[in-house]
Amino acid sequence: MTSNENQENAVPKSHPRYESLKYRHKIIEGMKNLVVAEAGLIAHGRGECFDYILGEKTTEVAKKAIEAAVATLLLADRPVISVNGNVAALNPNELVILSNVLNAPLEINLFYHKEGRIEAIKNVLQKAGAIEIYGIDPKKMIELDGLESNRRKVELIANADVVMVPLEDGDRTEALKKLKKKVIAVDLNPISRTALWADITIVDNIVRVIPEMIKITKKLKELNKKRLNAIVNNFNNKLNIQETLDLILDYIQRQKKIAFDIIKF
């Protein structure tokens, strides 16, 4: 039994926060295996906080963004899915399935480099069934203009027209936008720089987004280009982010009432 299974088994399935704890343990295990950077733990915590005030579910607003994202990826000539440590640790199997159904290659791209990390992420993806993984061979990498972090080193992303960036850093989103790429972000924080810079912002937990995207891809693959374009053109990211913020405000208002009903002063 791996220590991950040990940790997961320590949480009974009946625990009211079972799902959340299960993913926490995946991130912790990912850190022990070098897949997740130490700072990735903190980023996960920031994500959890936003997930909490979104009700920990895929909202109808997020579903609209997911549909627009899938249509955009299906219409793309050279789509790429960028992979960081957290994403690889949380749901590698679904990530590989999504890459296959969309015909969008996976490229490892990290903010924090550490000896052995790329190798560890590559192993996780290969174990999940990935055959081709980009962003590994330094000889094939080029540097993006306007970016100083490690995330500037890219392979297929350099020539991609659409890049999906789950759990991204704002600096690179901005750099990718300046290079005229269409950016699809998955970020639980609707007001992060990434969320605001992206063309399509999916404000939802990556662990729910990827399975939903697989489902929607299978549906939208049946549509012709004209109908896919109509989905993309009908989507308004600014409005979508505003609606997400309204959902958060409503949720907090409702929880405020519930909390005051439960707690007797």
Chain contacts with ligand ATP (rule: CB under 6 A):
43-44, 46-47, 50, 167, 169-170, 186-189, 192-194, 205-207
Q: How far is the CB of 242 from Mg ion (least distance, A)?
A: 22
Whichever of 91 and 99 has its CB closer to ligand ATP, that residue is 91
CA–CA distance, 82 with 175 (Å, rounded to integer) = 14
Which of 68, 60, 20 lies closest to 247, judged by CA? 60
Side chain identity at 223, as an amino acid letter? Answer: L
Restricting to residues 33-62, which ones interact with Mg ion according to CB under 5 A?
Answer: none
Distances in Å between the Cα of 114 and the Cα atoms of 38, 111, 168 are: 11, 10, 18
Q: How many Cα atoms within 13 Å fall on the side-chain side of residue 152?
A: 8
> Of the candidates 102, 82, 98, which has an alpha carbon nearest to the alpha carbon of residue 208?
98
Of 67 and 169, nearer to Mg ion (C-beta) is 169
Identity of the residue, 169 or 212, whose beta carbon is nearer to Mg ion in the bound complex: 169
Q: Which of ligand ATP, Mg ion, none lies near 46, with the C-beta cut-off 5 to 8 A by kind?
A: ligand ATP
CB-closest chain residue to Mg ion = 169
Contacted entry of Mg ion, ligand ATP, none for residue 22, CB cut-off 5 to 8 Å set by kind: none
Cβ 122 to ligand ATP shortest distance, Å: 21
User: Smallest distance, Å, CB 192 to Mg ion?
Assistant: 7
Kindly give, in sequence order, each residue whose CB lies less than 8 Å from that of residue 94, ignoring residues fewer than 6 positions away: 210, 211, 214
Instruction: Report 151-170 residues binding Mg ion (CB under 5 A).
Output: 169-170
* Interacting partner of 44 out of ligand ATP, Mg ion, none (Cβ under 5 to 8 A depending on kind): ligand ATP
The residues of the shown chain that bind Mg ion, judged by CB under 5 A, are 169-170
